[in-house]
Structure 1
Amino acid sequence: MAAGVAGARGAGRPLMRLVTMSGVPILRQLHLEERLLRRTGDNWCIINDGTAPATIVMGVSGRVSELVEIEPVLRDKVPVIRRFSGGGTVIVDQGTVFATFICSKTAIPGLQPFPRDIMSWTGQLYDKVFDGFGEFHLRENDYAFSQRKFGGNAQSITRDRWVHHTSFLWDYDMKNMDYLKIPKRAPDYRLARNHTDFLCRMKEYMPSRSVFTEGIISALGDHFTVEPTEPEAVLSDDTGFKPSTKLLSPQDLEDVIASKESLKIELITVMDRPARAAGRVAALLDLDRLRGRRKTERE
């Protein structure tokens, strides 16, 4: 219903194709988004309600050793994905709602295709979505109610197009957060808070997931003619495309541990070199003193 209203209100505006899904694995969703970004010229909104199993998703330049508790992840066989876009590291599951915008650079009049400009535009859009449901803020690169984060964002910008995708915490299992390290580069407003104090659940502010997703579609109608598209039509058309988003293998993670151990041994060796050198000097001095005593005794 909301899509139809948005379509009528958006007459004469750019077309945005809407794909709504439920429970699609996040790896498959990211492969789809990357293909739509690189292989089509259309504008897209993709909404996916939940994913399974619980999966860690890292940005393209994230370092596993700094962001992931590798040994528990290997023990519990938690999948780890490195996506094609930037941004931070999240763990997603059935309690996560995903919303993605893929647009041509000319789709939104006056919008400059730079990260902060895109973030500002999406922040204004979500301000309408959350109107009346909490004290919504765009804080640095996060969406927050007051001072507590509930939405993490990532972007990728090509020559002619851009993607902005968000993982919304409708709900989450606190135990899953133990698989993530607190990043060294954290937003200032985090104030060194742990995951429990820093995050919040959207379900504490909104009545239902459907109210949220319908709000997104309605807000998009202020900028686009929104046209629903069957998921099967886009999910099945992936032949010949090789995405850069990849699932890290257990061996990839074990190699990180091995490289850390190797680095630790090398560091210990380097730090130990002065001590060993000092030991050799002391031994030489002792030998020299011994030789001096023997010479004195002979005289």
Structure 2
Amino acid sequence: MTISQARHIGLPLMNLVRLKAVPILQQLHLEERLLRTSSDNWCIINDGTSAPTIVMGISGKPSELIELEPVLRDRVPVIRRFTGGGTVIVDDGTVFVTFICNKDAIPGLQAYPRPIMSWTSKLYGEVFQGIGDFHLRENDYVFGNCKFGGNAQSITKNRWIHHTSFLWDYDVRNMAYLKPPIRAPKYRSARHHVEFLRPMKDYLPAKSTFIDKTIATIGSHFLVRPVWLEAIGTPNSTYPQSTRLLTKQELEAFVISAS
């Protein structure tokens, strides 16, 4: 199908950026910039991040969400991102998929959290067709009763972002840095991380299989245009980034306040 044919039948254009092991802080800075300064639709797929990193939602409180003393001892980076959602620890076994869209990009989709969540779950339902017992449970992607994908969103006046951390695999030891969330989904039923999570590697032969199926599914809903990271350009140094790395001093202050 040519670009003119795609536009004729009404497929919206989606810029696709594929990354490999880009640090999650750099990825989040890119996402925030594209959400706030671009007028195009974007999908960003990052295969892993360079080092184990804790990522919290914009309103998350470290003292409630992470084990501060082990985190400080082991120098695990902690990021507060610009979107809502829960706390995760990500590493080279995580696959990140992000959609950044104009509110009118998808016909009939209302730009509110639940409709966006429903739309993405239907898209991933196509990706995982015939693979495991995939469905959306509360705000998580699950196989059966076990989570393998966590989501976060932000909605602005004219645009929205939905990003997902997919667990291809995970290091059980890293999960010890996270406290059980106070506001856990009901279906978790107080299960420990190891009982609650299920890696995608149990269902698919390779990460590339998931990434290729995702791109193919996106291609049935959008006109996909690959874009190199270098082509996006570097941000203006004065552009404010609300996503940031928490300092050692900040984390130590939370330890003192919690004691």
TM-score, L = length of structure 2: 0.96
Question: Is the 8 Å Cα contact of residues 126 and 216 (structure 1) preserved in structure 2?
Answer: yes
Q: Percent identity?
A: 62
For 2:90 and 2:18, locate their aligned partners in 1 and report how far apart those are by CA, in whole Å.
Answer: 18
Structure 1 or 2, whichever has the larger Rg, is: 1
Q: Report the equivalent of 2:21.
A: 23
Equivalent of 1:63, from 61, 64, 69? 61
User: More displaced, 129-138 or 102-111?
Assistant: 129-138
- Report the 3-state secondary structure (helix = DSSP H, G, I; strand = E; otherwise coil) of the residue aligned with 2:22: coil
Alpha-carbon distance, 1:8 to partner: 9.4
- Report the 3-state secondary structure (helix = DSSP H, G, I; strand = E; otherwise coil) of the residue aligned with 1:31: helix
Question: Gaps spanning 5+ residues in structure 1: where?
Answer: 262-299
Q: Report the equivalent of 1:133.
A: 131
- Report the 3-state secondary structure (helix = DSSP H, G, I; strand = E; otherwise coil) of the residue aligned with 1:197: helix
Question: Is the 8 Å Cα contact of residues 148 and 199 (structure 1) preserved in structure 2?
Answer: yes
Alignment of 1:2-13 (within 5 A): 10-11=6-7, 12-13=10-11
Alpha-carbon displacement from aligned partner over 1:13-45 (angstroms, at most 9, x marks no partner): 111000000000000000000000000110000
- Report the 3-state secondary structure (helix = DSSP H, G, I; strand = E; otherwise coil) of the residue aligned with 1:127: helix
Q: Report the equivalent of 1:253.
A: 251
Alpha-carbon distance, 1:207 to partner: 1.3
Q: Report the equivalent of 1:82.
A: 80
Q: Alpha carbons of 1:66 and 1:13: their partners in 2 closer, same or farther (altered >3 Å)?
A: same
For 1:6 and 1:232, locate their aligned partners in 2 and report how far apart those are by CA, in whole Å.
Answer: 25
- Report the 3-state secondary structure (helix = DSSP H, G, I; strand = E; otherwise coil) of the residue aligned with 2:214: helix
Q: Report the equivalent of 2:43.
A: 45
Letter in 1 for 2:170: Y
For 1:207 and 1:75, locate their aligned partners in 2 and report how far apart those are by CA, in whole Å.
Answer: 36
Q: Report the equivalent of 1:173.
A: 171
Q: Alpha carbons of 1:22 and 1:256: their partners in 2 closer, same or farther (altered >3 Å)?
A: same
How many residues matched?
257
Q: Alpha carbons of 1:44 and 1:253: their partners in 2 closer, same or farther (altered >3 Å)?
A: same
For 2:63 and 2:233, locate their aligned partners in 1 and report how far apart those are by CA, in whole Å.
Answer: 33
Q: Report the equivalent of 1:152.
A: 150
- Report the 3-state secondary structure (helix = DSSP H, G, I; strand = E; otherwise coil) of the residue aligned with 1:138: strand
Q: Report the equivalent of 1:189.
A: 187
For 1:194 and 1:209, locate their aligned partners in 2 and report how far apart those are by CA, in whole Å.
Answer: 25
Question: Is the 8 Å Cα contact of residues 7 and 227 (structure 1) preserved in structure 2?
Answer: no
User: More displaced, 230-239 or 87-96?
Assistant: 230-239
Q: Report the equivalent of 1:121.
A: 119
For 1:198 and 1:8, locate their aligned partners in 2 and report how far apart those are by CA, in whole Å.
Answer: 47
What root-mean-square deviation, in Å, do the aligned CA atoms of Structure 1 and Structure 2 show? 1.5
Letter in 2 for 1:87: G
Equivalent of 1:200, from 198, 201, 207? 198
For 2:68 and 2:232, locate their aligned partners in 1 and report how far apart those are by CA, in whole Å.
Answer: 34
Alpha-carbon distance, 1:224 to partner: 1.1
Q: Alpha carbons of 1:170 and 1:155: their partners in 2 closer, same or farther (altered >3 Å)?
A: same
- Report the 3-state secondary structure (helix = DSSP H, G, I; strand = E; otherwise coil) of the residue aligned with 2:130: coil
For 1:158 and 1:65, locate their aligned partners in 2 and report how far apart those are by CA, in whole Å.
Answer: 29
Equivalent of 2:238, from 229, 237, 240? 240
Task: Confirm or deny that 1:221 pairs with 2:216.
Answer: no
Q: Alpha carbons of 1:23 and 1:67: their partners in 2 closer, same or farther (altered >3 Å)?
A: same
Alpha-carbon distance, 1:205 to partner: 0.3
Question: Is the 8 Å Cα contact of residues 33 and 235 (structure 2) preserved in structure 1?
Answer: no
Q: Report the equivalent of 1:270.
A: none
Q: Report the equivalent of 1:108.
A: 106
